Amino acid sequence: MDVAQTAKRLKALYSAVVYDIMDEMGLPHQCLDLAIAPLDRSMQVAGPAYTVMAGPDMRERDEMPPNTKLADFGVFTQMYDGCVVVVGAAGERQSGIWGELMSNASRARGATGVVIDGGIRDGRLVREIDGLGVFARYTSPIESLRRSRIHDIEIPISMTGTTTSQVRVNPGDWIFGDEDGVLVIPKDALDEVLAKSEEAKDIEDKVREEVQAGVPVIDVYNKYGRL
């Protein structure tokens, strides 16, 4: 699978049509909490999930047990071209678990997006990073040290959902987000979701054209079965 080409195809769509297809496929609970929004409304994010598990933690650095997986800024070393960093903060609602320097480091490792079920710092500087779509629950000036901490990477994580309390994100599941919301597309369903979404968009383009031309809505709906 060509990650860049697949991301390009997704970004030519919009989250509403992709959600409709997943809903029809029996995957209705894949939308993250709608409070998780882009720092700039024009931002999109599309790519395989690079998962980061974080959460509230009041310990000092010297109180933490050794963690070879995260030592020497190991959170960045497994990132790859086209990935989307997905951070589950386990309900921490004060600090910015991610910031501008971490975002720049992620972009340098090839990440094209960051999605955080929590806070981010340095919002203005983050928005200026070229090629990085960033979605977060809130912005905060508050440092994460002694408030929250990254605990693990590239494992299944929980993100707050919209139609369900939690959405599971596995490493490699696809993330697609725009100003309407962020969707988690199971990696095994990606090809089918993408193909059907493109077909649906083509139909909606025809519907839009006929409605704008003044064709009665009922006639358009009867013809295409979508509105």
Q: Judging by DSSP bridges, how do beta strands 45-56 and 84-88 pair with one another? A: parallel
Residue 100 marked in a binding site: yes
pLDDT for 210: 83
Contact 118, 89 (CB under 8 A): yes
DSSP letters for 50-71: EEEEEEE----GGGSPP-TTTT
Q: How far apart are CA 197 and CA 220, in angstroms?
A: 19
The total number of residues shown for the chain amounts to 227
pTM, 2 dp? 0.90
Q: How far apart are CA 94 and CA 143, in angstroms?
A: 9
Indicate which CATH number applies to the domain containing 163.
3.50.30.40
- Residue 192 maps to a domain: no
Report the number of distinct structural domains present in the chain. Answer: 1
- Residue 227 maps to a domain: no
- Residue 146 maps to a domain: yes
Residue 121 marked in a binding site: yes
Using CA atoms, how far residue 86 sits from 3, 150, 199, in Å, is 16, 12, 28
pLDDT for 73: 66
Instruction: List the pLDDT tens digit at each of the 227 positions of the chain.
Output: 799 999 999 999 999 999 999 999 999 999 999 999 999 999 999 999 999 988 777 677 777 777 666 555 668 888 999 999 999 987 788 788 888 998 999 999 999 999 999 999 999 999 999 999 999 999 988 877 777 677 888 999 999 999 999 999 999 999 999 999 999 999 999 999 999 999 999 888 888 888 888 888 887 787 877 77
- Residue 45 maps to a domain: yes
Residue 102 marked in a binding site: yes
Contact 54, 89 (CB under 8 A): yes
Q: Judging by DSSP bridges, how do beta strands 181-185 and 174-178 pair with one another? A: antiparallel
Give the containing element (helix H, strand E) for 147.
none
- Residue 161 maps to a domain: yes
pLDDT for 187: 97
Q: Which domain holds residue 136?
A: 3-187
pLDDT for 71: 56
Residue 101 marked in a binding site: yes
- Residue 165 maps to a domain: yes
